[in-house]
Structure 1
Amino acid sequence: MRMECAIIGGGPAGLNAALVLGRARRQVALFDDNQPRNAVTKHTHGFMTRDGAKPEELRSLARQDIKKYPTVRTIAKRITGVMPILGGFRLQAGDGSLYECRKLLLATGLSETLPDIHGIRQYYGRSLFNCPYCDGWELRDQPLVVIAEGSNAFSLTRLAYQWSRNLLVCTNGSMRALTGEELQLLQRKGVAVSHDRIKELAGSEGMLRAVAFENGGSSKRTGGFVSPYWRHASPLGELLGCRMNESGGIETDALGRTSVYGVYAAGDASVIAPAQAVIAAGEGSRAAIGMNSDLAREDFA
Structure 2
Amino acid sequence: MNTFDCVIVGAGPAGLSAGLTLGRARRYIAVMDNGTNRNRVTQQSHGYLTRDGITPQAFKEAGVNELKNYPSVSYFHTTVTGIRKEFGGERMIVRTMDDETFYTEKVILATGVQEEFPFPSVREFYGKSLFSCPYCDGWEMKDQPLIIIADKEEHTMHMARLIYNWSSDLIVATNGVELSKDCAQELKERKIIIKTEPIKSLNGHNGYLEKIEFKTGETISRSGGFVVPSFYRPNQFAKHLGCEIDEDGTVATDGAGRTTSKNVYIAGETEKSASSSLIISAADGQKAAVSVNTDITLERF
Shorter-chain TM-score: what band? over 0.9
Q: Does 1:282 align with 2:270?
A: no
Paired position in structure 1 for 2:79: 78
**Aligned to 1:125, which of 127, 130, 135?**
127
Q: For 2:230 and 2:43, how far apart are their aligned partners in 1?
A: 21
Q: Does 1:103 align with 2:114?
A: no
User: Which ranges in structure 1 are unaligned for 5 or more consecutive residues?
Assistant: none
Q: Does 1:134 align with 2:136?
A: yes
Pick which of 102-111 and 150-159 moved more.
Answer: 150-159
| Structure 1 residue 174: Cα displacement | 2.5
SS in structure 2 at match of 1:152 = helix
Runs of 4+ in 1 over 6 A off after TM superposition: none
Q: For 1:246 and 1:182, how far apart are their aligned partners in 2?
A: 28
Instruction: Give the partner amino acid of 2:37.
Output: P
Conserved in 2, the CA contact under 8 Å of 1:127 and 1:224?
A: yes
Q: Does 1:215 align with 2:216?
A: yes
TM-score by length of 1: 0.94
CA offsets 1:109-161 (integer angstroms, 9 cap, x no match): 001112215x3222111000010000000000111000111342221222111
Q: For 1:256 and 1:145, how far apart are their aligned partners in 2?
A: 37
Paired position in structure 2 for 1:94: 97
Q: Percent identity?
A: 38
Paired position in structure 1 for 2:162: 159
Q: Does 1:145 align with 2:147?
A: yes
Conserved in 2, the CA contact under 8 Å of 1:249 and 1:268?
A: no
Pick which of 17-26 and 184-193 moved more.
Answer: 184-193
Q: For 1:278 and 1:244, how far apart are their aligned partners in 2?
A: 24
Q: For 1:164 and 1:227, how far apart are their aligned partners in 2?
A: 17
Q: For 2:273 and 2:238, how far apart are their aligned partners in 1?
A: 14
Paired position in structure 2 for 1:205: 206
Q: For 2:51 and 2:246, how far apart are their aligned partners in 1?
A: 31
Q: For 1:21 and 1:245, how far apart are their aligned partners in 2?
A: 28
Map 1:13-32 onto structure 2 (within 5 A). Answer: 13-32=14-33
| Structure 1 residue 188: Cα displacement | 2.1
CA offsets 1:84-104 (integer angstroms, 9 cap, x no match): 112121111123221111111
Paired position in structure 1 for 2:173: 170
Conserved in 1, the CA contact under 8 Å of 2:232 and 2:273?
A: no
Counting matched residue pairs gives 297
